[in-house]
Structure 1
Amino acid sequence: MKKILETSRTYLRELSTDDAENFFLLNSDKDVLKYTGDKPFESILKTKEFLKNYNPYQEFGYGRWAVIDKSNNEFLGWCGLKFTSELNEVDLGFRFFKKHWNKGYASETAKACVDYGFEKLNLTKIVGRAMKENSASIKVLEKAGMQFVDIIDFEKHEGVLYQLKKQ
Structure 2
Amino acid sequence: MAIQLETDRLILKQFSEEDAAYLFELNNDPDVTRYVGEGAYKSIDDVRNFIKNYNQYEQYAQGRLNMFNKQTGEYIGWCGLKYLADKNYSDLGYRLLKRHWGKGYATEAAIACLDYGFKVLNLDKIIGTAMKENTASINVFKKLGLKYSHDNDCGEQPGVVYVITKENWGM
Instruction: Tell me the TM-score range normalised by the shorter chain.
Output: over 0.9
In the alignment, which residue of structure 2 is the partner of 1:86? 86
In the alignment, which residue of structure 2 is the partner of 1:154? 154
Q: Deviations for 1:95-134, whole angstroms, at most 9, x for unmatched residues?
A: 0000000000001111111111001110000000000010
For residue 3 of structure 1, report the CA deviation from its aligned partner.
5.2
C-alpha RMSD of matched pairs (Å):
1.2
2:43 counterpart letter in structure 1: S
Contact 2:3–2:62 (8 Å) recurs in 1? no
How many residues end up aligned between the 2 structures?
167
Contact 1:7–1:112 (8 Å) recurs in 2? yes
Contact 1:110–1:141 (8 Å) recurs in 2? no
Q: Deviations for 1:9-62, whole angstroms, at most 9, x for unmatched residues?
A: 001111110111010010000000000021211101111111111121111111
Instruction: Using structure 1 for the length normalisation, give the TM-score.
Output: 0.97
2:57 counterpart letter in structure 1: Y
In the alignment, which residue of structure 2 is the partner of 1:47? 47
1:142 counterpart letter in structure 2: K
Task: For 1:58-97, list aligned pairs within 5 A.
Answer: 58-97=58-97
For residue 68 of structure 1, report the CA deviation from its aligned partner.
0.9
In the alignment, which residue of structure 2 is the partner of 1:56? 56
Whole-Å separation in 1 of the counterparts to 2:2 and 2:123: 21
Contact 2:78–2:94 (8 Å) recurs in 1? yes
Instruction: Using structure 2 for the length normalisation, give the TM-score.
Output: 0.95
Q: Which runs of 5+ in 1 are unaligned?
A: none
Q: Indicate the SS of the match to 2:57.
A: helix
Matched, 1:7 2:31: no
In the alignment, which residue of structure 2 is the partner of 1:130? 130
In the alignment, which residue of structure 1 is the partner of 2:113? 113
Q: Indicate the SS of the match to 1:33.
A: coil
Q: Which runs of 5+ in 2 are unaligned?
A: none
Percent identical residues: 46
Q: Deviations for 1:59-89, whole angstroms, at most 9, x for unmatched residues?
A: 1111000111001111110000000011011
Q: Which runs of 4+ in 1 moved over 3 A?
A: none
